[in-house]
Structure 1
């Protein structure tokens, strides 16, 4: 090999090394194709080229013009059939094939050689290339191998990104489903808790609900030395109504009493039916107990005037203002209010 041929070989080797580095650095398949097209022009001065790649069960076909610019192509490209024969394993052991018809020349290189998944074909319309066929075949095979490696890496990356994206979507869907299930469970638990704290007949808090909620409010009042009071209410004559008119009327009397008490207290107050004909309430912030009693009596009077039943609602009421300094518990105040209610009932009966 003379100095001129050696210099040309070194230049071609340098071009291939540069192509290899550039292909490894790019993350864009279109840029990779442009690099391949540029190399085919610079190294081989081709007129047309075709690259067929099988990746991820998909066939990709790209054509190159005489300037090396890449564009999408398809099976209608005249070079496609030659490429397809190599993709089906028709290529020889070296993975390339030369064909000459009229004045045109076609070279093909497949990667891997036996059953190519990538095929690169180059065509010269009129073959006046200074390089012999063997050199061109070697160059074409090297470019095909570099293209296959680069595009394979990019297709694998896209596939991996798609898998990650799919997994991410699945995880997101799973997280949403999990969150929805937790929310549903919270709703169910809240509903169960409400049922456990609520009196089924009146909709007020039941005995358990009263002590759960009133105990919390009572502790706040104790810590802040806030004004608070416990009210105990008993329905007058419920047994007589049950015995003379019937239990349906007695149940209605209980519900009427609940409606009166609900209207007499604020939403922040705890109002409950303790059982039977007994009701209790805990109120926070009312300055004077007698004002609370008067409010109940006004609501009671208004209710009786508005309802033309054969009986009126009559209530006995006991109220005790809580003192944060005396050490009494909520149960102590309930008993004290119950005692005052009983005293009020006795005075009314006599």
Structure 2
């Protein structure tokens, strides 16, 4: 499923969740019919529909026009037969060509709930293509609306004869509504996970370049509006190529991860720290401290790490830091370039 289809599926799930809440909150059977008709029109883009409920030998029939408006109906309704076939069969009916329309222009679909010995049937007709949903998706959506309708009618107890059959299904239909809510929550979690993956560097667990600009740009704008102290830091690992050539790329990758851990420990959770290139890191901090204080904290953490590890090579960083001035009119990207230039100058000084 591509991103566009996932968004559409999430929208349909949210609409179904909203429908279930509204249906189970109302005490008026006519409101139930209005809500069901509106859902059929909005979600399935049908031209007309019919609801048939069998209980204790009695039958209740309501039709819906293309706008979802409900009215009493009977066996003369053209959709009565497909709906009745679901009640007399196994609860399902294959999509059939619509009556009195050109060949291929529309179709009729009907479902009954529960699947075995159904008591409630919904049938819909399209005089056009019915939207972008395929037959399988339409049937699933129609079944979900039918289940929620049956659950709501069971709760109302509007007619004693209807209650005896449908109220036994209320628990099952409520479970269906809860299942829809759980599925929506699961999909929200998937969306969040996908977003996190797109913003995170896989090697270090820090933000990647895209993640840095997404999150740091927001914090930078807040700092500019509030005239709050903030700073941009740019850091580069010293001697990474030499380590790769002498010891191997696995050691070089570990060096990158070690540097990332040192930088992460040098900032607060509210600061944005990212790996923006192979051996390059950037950070944005909303901090009242002077830039030199931030650099000193990084150097202390570097020193402590190198003393503890005892490796044949040490982690060394060249660092540039620029304090942001809200009155300067500079962008976050401008400050990144300025910090990068300071870092490069610092590296050159150490080489000479």
Task: State the TM-score, normalized to the length of structure 1.
Answer: 0.55
Q: Aligned with 1:275: secondary structure? A: coil
Q: What's 1:281 paired with?
A: 283
Q: What's 1:195 paired with?
A: 197
1:162 and 1:186 map into 2 onto residues whose CA distance is 38
Which of structure 1's runs of 4+ aligned residues deviate more than 4 A?
none
Q: Pick one of 270, 273, 280 that aligns with 2:272.
A: 270
> Is 1:338 aligned with 2:322?
no
Higher Rg of the two aligned structures = 1
Q: What's 1:12 paired with?
A: none
Q: What's 1:325 paired with?
A: 327
- Mark the CA change 1:275 to 1:156 in structure 2 (over 3 Å): closer, same or farther: closer
For structure 2, the 5+ residue unaligned runs are 1-54, 58-156
Moved more, 226-235 or 165-174: 165-174
Deviations 1:27-73 (A, max 9, x none): xxxxxxxxxxxxxxxxxxxxxxxxxxxx959xxxxxxxxxxxxxxxx
Q: What's 1:79 paired with?
A: none
Superposed displacement of residue 165, structure 1: 2.8
Deviations 1:297-316 (A, max 9, x none): 00000000000110000000
Q: What's 1:169 paired with?
A: 171
> Number of residues paired by the alignment?
199
For structure 1, the 5+ residue unaligned runs are 1-54, 58-154
Q: What's 1:25 paired with?
A: none
Are the aligned partners of 1:286 and 1:292 in contact in 2 as well (CA < 8 Å)? no
Deviations 1:153-200 (A, max 9, x none): xx9943312345345434422221111111111111111111111000
User: Map of 1:282-321 to 2, 5 A cutoff?
Assistant: 282-321=284-323
Task: State the TM-score, normalized to the length of structure 2.
Answer: 0.54
Q: What's 2:127 paired with?
A: none
> Is 1:218 aligned with 2:250?
no
CA RMSD, 1 decimal: 2.0
User: Map of 1:56-95 to 2, 5 A cutoff?
Assistant: 56=56
Deviations 1:215-246 (A, max 9, x none): 01001101111000000000000000001111
Q: Pick one of 206, 209, 212 that aligns with 1:207.
A: 209
- Mark the CA change 1:211 to 1:160 in structure 2 (over 3 Å): closer, same or farther: same
1:165 and 1:156 map into 2 onto residues whose CA distance is 11
2:163 and 2:294 map into 1 onto residues whose CA distance is 70
Deviations 1:84-139 (A, max 9, x none): xxxxxxxxxxxxxxxxxxxxxxxxxxxxxxxxxxxxxxxxxxxxxxxxxxxxxxxx
User: Map of 1:226-265 to 2, 5 A cutoff?
Assistant: 226-265=228-267
Q: Aligned with 1:233: secondary structure? A: strand
2:164 and 2:217 map into 1 onto residues whose CA distance is 57
1:162 and 1:216 map into 2 onto residues whose CA distance is 58
